[in-house]
């Protein structure tokens, strides 16, 4: 019998537990690392400040939407409205920030919109017990329509200094991403955060154990909405303007990144680091295949093969065992 104090054993347990959580995505990490090395070899400019900055800027919005999708999938939900929400965030940023509201007011409007959309979606899904896939599909039309109402065609403006700050030649995007990941770690330590996995994996059991299942799920939707409009704000800053359909592709890409990162559709399975690695792989693939000189047709095929490979390798191992 071990006689260590509870505090010490908790500390000693932390890293082994974290390592065990990595098992499912270890092969993905290896693939991502291989791609990073390949990218560095093909394009040495990656190691310059501006090269690194531009690379992380390409990845950043995808990383945010991957997180937005992963949170929902961890609670057993899903969102088909992420792309539309990104678009709405982008057009709100592009129409408010150069106006009387200013950057702070615009950012607040973007954040409130995201939280509002997320909370509303969460309430409808959780309280009315409606399937998330249906609610968010309908939501995507409403939100996409709202984006077109705010800005019927591409336009608007983001103050140049903000564009240069977020998407210039400094790795501000990377710093922001690190900050967001740290916030995620903090959130997981709060009661709502702790309930997240339980609410996803076994909602009934969790509810009977006194876990605030509904609150955890609504909060997940709210955070997901905030991350999505935040990604929209970044895209607007990166491009210097708003486009009402700029986010469309993010819906599918966010799901791809999360699934690639080992997040299960049934809830409670997977890790945020997996989803982030998945999004990084999707982003890296584009640049690496360019530098390898793949033709567009070969890129389609290679993309599919890489995704299947990254998902299938852990399964092969399981079968062998």
Partner 1 sequence: MMKSPFFASASALCLGLVLSLGAGSQANAAANCIKGDRKAPYTIGWANIYSVPTWMKQTQGTIEAEVETLKKQGLVDKLVVTDAQGDANVQIQQIQSMIDSNVDAIILIAGSSTAPARVLADACAKGIAIINFDSLVDTDKVTAKVNTDSSQWGDQAAKFLIDAIGGKGKILILNGPAGVSVSDDRRKGADAELKAHPDVKVLAETNTPYNVAPAQEAVTSLLFANPEIDGILSLGGALSAGAVLALDKQGREQVPITGENARQFLELWKEKGLKSWATMQPNWLGAFATYTAVQALEGKDVPAFVKIPLPVIDNSNIDAYLARAKDFPADGYIYSPYDEELFKKLLAQK
> Using the rule CB under 8 A, is 153 a contact of partner 1?
yes
Instruction: Please name which of 229, 74, 265, 237 lies closest in space to residue 157, comparing C-alpha atoms.
Output: 237
> Using the rule CB under 8 A, is 119 a contact of partner 1?
no
Cα distances (Å, whole numbers) of residue 19 to 23, 26, 83, 276: 7, 9, 33, 17
Nearer to partner 1, 94 or 310 (CB): 94
Three-state DSSP at 182 gives helix
Nearer to partner 1, 121 or 283 (CB): 283
> Using the rule CB under 8 A, is 210 a contact of partner 1?
no
> Using the rule CB under 8 A, is 61 a contact of partner 1?
yes
> Using the rule CB under 8 A, is 296 a contact of partner 1?
yes
Q: How many CB atoms lie within 10 A of CB 119?
A: 17
> Using the rule CB under 8 A, is 140 a contact of partner 1?
no
> Out of 173, 246, 275, 307, which residue is the one contacting partner 1 (CB under 8 A)?
246
> Out of 51, 116, 212, 314, which residue is the one contacting partner 1 (CB under 8 A)?
51
Q: How far is the CB of 38 from partner 1 (least distance, A)?
A: 13
> Using the rule CB under 8 A, is 47 a contact of partner 1?
no
Instruction: Please name which of 259, 308, 239, 228 lies closest in space to residue 73, comparing C-alpha atoms.
Output: 259
Region near partner 1 per CB under 8 A, out of 18-26, 127-135, 154-162, 263-271: 154-162
CB-based burial of residue 157 (10 Å sphere; 0-12 exposed, 13-18 middle, 19+ buried)? middle
> How is residue 163 written in tokens?
């564009």
Instruction: Please name which of 62, 114, 119 lies closest in space to residue 91, comparing C-alpha atoms.
Output: 114
Judge contact between 171 and 53, C-beta under 8 A: yes
> Using the rule CB under 8 A, is 235 a contact of partner 1?
yes
> Using the rule CB under 8 A, is 154 a contact of partner 1?
yes
Cα distances (Å, whole numbers) of residue 181 to 63, 174, 177, 191, 294: 10, 11, 6, 18, 33
Q: How far is the CB of 4 from partner 1 (least distance, A)?
A: 50
Region near partner 1 per CB under 8 A, out of 8-16, 201-209, 234-242, 273-281: 234-242
* Greatest C-alpha distance within the chain: 69
Strands (E), the chain: none
> How is residue 258 written in tokens?
């999360």
Q: How far is the CB of 153 from partner 1 (least distance, A)?
A: 6
Q: How far is the CB of 43 from partner 1 (least distance, A)?
A: 6
Size (the chain), residues: 321
Residues binding partner 1 (CB under 8 A): 43, 45, 51, 54, 58, 61-62, 98, 102, 148, 152-156, 159, 163, 167, 235, 238-246, 248-250, 253, 283, 286-287, 290-291, 293, 295-297, 299-300
């Amino acid at each position: 019998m071990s006689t260590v104090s509870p505090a010490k054993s908790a500390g000693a347990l932390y890293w082994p537990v974290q390592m065990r959580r990595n098992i499912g995505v270890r092969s993905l990490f290896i693939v991502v690392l291989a791609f990073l090395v390949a990218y560095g070899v093909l394009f040495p400019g990656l190691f310059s400040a501006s090269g690194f900055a531009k690379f992380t800027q390409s990845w950043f919005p995808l990383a945010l939407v991957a997180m937005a999708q992963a949170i929902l999938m961890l609670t057993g939900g899903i969102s088909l409205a992420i792309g539309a929400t990104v678009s709405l965030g982008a057009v709100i940023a592009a129409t408010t920030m150069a106006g009387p509201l200013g950057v702070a007011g615009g950012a607040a409007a973007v954040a409130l919109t995201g939280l509002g959309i997320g909370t509303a979606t969460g309430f409808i899904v959780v309280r009315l017990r409606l399937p998330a896939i249906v609610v968010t599909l309908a939501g995507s039309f409403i939100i996409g329509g709202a984006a077109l109402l705010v800005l019927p065609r591409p336009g608007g403006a983001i103050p140049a200094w903000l564009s240069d700050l977020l998407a210039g030649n400094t790795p501000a995007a990377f710093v922001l991403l690190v900050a967001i990941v740290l916030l995620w770690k903090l959130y997981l330590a709060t009661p709502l955060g702790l309930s997240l996995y339980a609410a996803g994996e076994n909602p009934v059991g969790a509810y009977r154990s006194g876990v605030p299942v509904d609150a955890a799920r609504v909060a997940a939707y709210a955070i997901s909405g905030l991350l999505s409009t935040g990604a929209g704000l970044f895209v607007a800053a990166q491009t210097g303007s708003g486009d009402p359909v700029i986010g469309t592709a993010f819906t599918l890409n966010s799901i791809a990144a999360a699934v690639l990162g080992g997040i299960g559709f049934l809830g409670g399975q997977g890790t945020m680091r997996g989803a982030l690695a998945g999004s990084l792989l999707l982003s890296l693939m584009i640049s690496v295949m360019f530098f390898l000189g793949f033709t567009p047709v070969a890129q389609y095929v290679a993309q599919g093969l890489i995704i299947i490979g990254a998902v299938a390798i852990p399964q092969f191992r399981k079968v062998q065992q």
